[in-house]
Amino acid sequence: MSAKENKMIDALRYASYAVNHLIGVKPGENVLIIVDTATEPEVYKAFAAAVNAAGGEFTIAIQPSRTEPKDFHKLTEPIKKAYEGADVVIPATASCGAALYGASPITWPLLREKKLRQFSFNQRSLRNLTEGGATADYDEIRKNGEKLKSVLEKGKKMKITTELGSNLTAGMEGREMQTELGFARNPGQSGCLPDGEVSFDPVSGSANGILYVDGPIANIGVPSTPVKITVSNGKITAVEGGCEEAGRFEHVIKTIENADNFAEIAIGLNPKSQRTGEFNEEKKGLGNIHVACGRSAGSHRKFEVWSTIHYDMVIHNPTIELDGRIIVDKGRHVY
């Protein structure tokens, strides 16, 4: 058996796990799989086969890839209309976040009204379906995620430091703690693969300090040297670093409306996630955090700050304090 055939067998295995255990597709349900021309065919074929085996009806919608930041959330008009007929949507555009983020004005009302559930494989590759975080025990991740959420819900202020020199504080009192733990079995729920994080959008204007980003940046890649980001009153005011990635990120911050908004802090929980240089793999990793700029994070509600981008940035081995109490010590969870 060839290596490609083995990969397809693994893809079918984990797509079946996702469709049956994490999403819980039932006979007769309509599942919309949205891809672009950069999505590997093995990915959507594996999900479609799993949906079919579960008794569901799949529809695969393919749109052009998007390579310019201004187009990253652009969906074709027919696909926008297709969401209305789906019980489950699997966003799987490989080049950009169009099927997930660009569809937010459509999907969030449907999620809020419990007319839809969503399971993202957005900006991921075949490798993300067959290795690393996809192979984790999601029942265990859900248990640990609910525990971390209960800890964070009591917090008023978070402090993030790293050995590289990061030192940032952000308010969190009254903010909703959001869990992304892989499961989307009920209408209104969202999950993805790989998954495993608890996140929140900081109190507006409360984030201050500096961060050294040493992991991958969404749509940009892994910086060859850490990128220093200065945050003042909830805005990214400076981007420094002697690498190409820093220059590209600074251009995004300066040219896209509200890209400078400090939008999210998220703590990873997946012990199987690997350091591959892919932000959607690494940001879920146990021992990592990610922060985001641009459009605010949120849960089925209007965004406090809107931008056409939401760029995640991964930071390795942080120390996190919650109201002065260390809950993550150099990447090790100690709460």
Q: Which of 169, 249, 262, 261 lies closest to 239 in space, CA to CA?
A: 249
Crossing angle between the packed helical segments 3-17 and 41-53, to the nearest 10 degrees = 50
Token code pair at residue 203? 């109190």
39-43, 98-102, 158-162, 331-335: least confident range? 98-102
45-49, 67-71, 153-157, 195-199: least confident range? 67-71
Average pLDDT over residues 224-246: 97
Distances in Å between the alpha carbon of 232 and those of 94, 207, 216, 279, 322?
33, 7, 23, 25, 20
Q: Is the pTM of this model over 0.85?
A: yes
| pLDDT, tens digit (0-9, with 9 covering 90-100), for 282-312 | 999 999 999 999 988 765 456 788 888 889 9
What span, in angstroms and rounded, lies between the C-alpha atoms of 317 and 323?
19
Q: Which amino acid is at 126?
A: L
The pLDDT of residue 4: 67
- DSSP-derived 3-state class of residue 88: strand
Beta strands in 65-143 (DSSP E): 88-92, 117-120
Average pLDDT over residues 162-176: 97
104 pLDDT exceeds 70?
A: yes
Q: Which of 207, 263, 269 lies closest to 234 in space, CA to CA?
A: 207
257 pLDDT exceeds 90?
A: yes
Q: Which amino acid is at 306?
A: W
Residue 146: pLDDT band (50, 70, 90) is: very high
